[in-house]
Amino acid sequence: MKLNVNQMLLSFSFTLDFVERDLLKDVTNHTRHVAYICARLAKLMNLPEREFFDLVSYALLHDNGITRSLLDRNPVDMAGLEKNIRHCEVGEENVSYFPFNHPIPGVILYHHECQDGSGFFGKRGEEIPFFSRLIALSNRVAVEYAQGNTPRDILGMLKKDARLFDPELLRLFFHISQHGEFWLNMQPMFIESELERLLPQEIREFSYQNIRRISRLYSNIIDAKSPFTGGHSRGISKKVGILCRYYGCGEEEYWKMRIAADLHDLGKIMVPNKILDKPGSLTREEIDVVQSHTYYTRKALEMVQGFEDITEWAANHHEKLNGKGYPYGLTADQLDFNSRVLACVDIYQALTEERPYRMALSHEESVGILDTMAKQNLIDGSIVRDIDAILGTVFYEEDLKVKKSG
């Protein structure tokens, strides 16, 4: 299919920036600010279009490794949030799945390196990839901006800390930032449209198998949100794939379902960890917050043309046949077979995983709960029987491997 990669990047950055809401109690559009500053610098340098696109892509993904489960302490600001080397290491690993025009090793890994060698890894000057140097400068400006500093204050800070940045890039930044227009574009109501205007259109022909490389990147980010969901999306995608083969799905449908499974919890990035990891019962207000995640999944995915089926299957995974699901209260006649499959597998996967309030359940225990739900007209009973027959073997084989390795 023809995929507008810009749409995918911007729609997913919409969710990534909400990590800040969880950790900092605010949304600063940090990711988009960094991408905007990089884009303005790239435009001034007349960077070739394909390199321009790669740079902005790296910028939008630069903090993909920041999640609650990787942090050692509660940060009080964006600067504190980024003082963790693991987010560079995890982020570098994640972007290996993204289809850059010309992948450059180390861009994410070294995006906190400094010109004078005082960064995490001690790289200096030309040892630091060029894109990393661009992101490092843009990142520092975006952090200072998010903390409420004025343009005058930010420029003064850059002059004071000039030893940390590439001198030529610093000179170019002073040039583009001297007019008020540069800073006004960073306001919340303008940043997204300005970034869309600057970003070169990147529409490419992708197989669904290759699109899944991108969705795997985001499933890694989603699953790292909480220590209790370390393999949740990956596990669902694998089991959905097994069932799709059993049902005789064609290749396109098979890969669409794998992608939908990877991305079904995209909106969960917006749910605070204090709720996701809470060991006790949730309040009514907390339940409402958790249940909003499928709405945000839909809002993010529907921005991408060609993802119509994927959006439906991913966003419907908490709907119920009797109309008592969420967030739309869809009924049996509004839920197609693939939506029902993903809903059943999501429940099965969750039951077989450990949670803060209980241990993981066995295959038999999980199927028993699914069967009860089917009798209550919540989920499809025929799919529950298939899960019991097909996934029971998979569950047994995986359990056997764990016991042997232990």
d(CA 158, CA 164): 9
Q: What is the pLDDT of residue 270?
A: 82
Third-level CATH fold of 2-204? Hypothetical protein af1432 (1.10.3210)
Taking the C-alpha atoms of 222, 224, 228 and 230 in order, what is their torsion angle to the nearest 10 degrees? 90
pLDDT at 255 over 90: yes
Q: Which residues, in sequence order, are bridge partners of residue 331?
A: 322
Listed in order, the ranges of the chain carrying CATH 1.10.3210.10 are 2-204, 208-405
Asked if the 208-405 domain carries CATH number 3.30.230.10, the reply is no
Percentage with pLDDT > 90 across the chain: 64
For 127-145, what is the mean pLDDT? Answer: 96
Q: What is the pLDDT of residue 203?
A: 84
Q: What is the pLDDT of residue 229?
A: 72
Q: What is the pLDDT of residue 399?
A: 47
Q: What is the pLDDT of residue 165?
A: 98
pLDDT in tens, 3-29: 888 888 888 777 777 766 666 666 678
Pull the structure tokens for residue 98: 């993204």
pLDDT at 210 over 50: yes
Least confident window among 22-36, 84-98, 117-131, 257-271: 22-36
Mean pLDDT of all residues belonging to the chain? 89
Q: What is the pLDDT of residue 404?
A: 44
Taking the C-alpha atoms of 166, 143, 176 and 95 in order, what is their torsion angle to the nearest 10 degrees? 70
For 272-283, what is the mean pLDDT? Answer: 85
Least confident window among 111-120, 169-178, 296-305: 296-305
pLDDT at 398 over 60: no
Q: What is the pTM of this model?
A: 0.85
| H-only helix segments in 161-207 | 167-176, 180-184, 191-198
